[in-house]
Amino acid sequence: MKKSSAARWPVYVALFLLVAFAVIFVVEFIGASENPVRSEPAANLSADTYLDIVTPLLVDADAQNGETLLTTYECVACHRAGAENGIAPAFVGIAERAATRRPPLTAAAYIYESILHPTAYIVEDFSGAMPQNYPERLSDRELGDIIAYLLTPDAH
Ligand code: HEC
Residue 83: per-residue pLDDT = 60
Q: How much is the average pLDDT of 36-58?
A: 86
Return the residue whose CA atom lies nearest to atom 21 of ligand 1. 114
Q: Are 144 and 110 in contact (CB under 8 A)?
A: no
Region of 23 (left: φ > 0; alpha: ψ -120 to 50; beta: rest) is alpha
Query: Residue 81's pLDDT band (boundaries 50, 70, 90)?
Result: confident
Q: How far is the CA of 114 from the centre of ligand 1 (A)?
A: 7
Does the pLDDT at position 14 exceed 60?
yes
Q: Is the CB of 97 under 6 A from ligand 1?
A: yes
Atom of ligand 1 nearest to the CA of 77: 5
Q: Which of 49, 79, 47, 83 is nearest to 66 (CA)?
A: 79
66 CA distance to ligand 1 middle (Å): 15
Residue 150 has pLDDT above 50, yes or no: yes
Atom of ligand 1 nearest to the CA of 138: 38
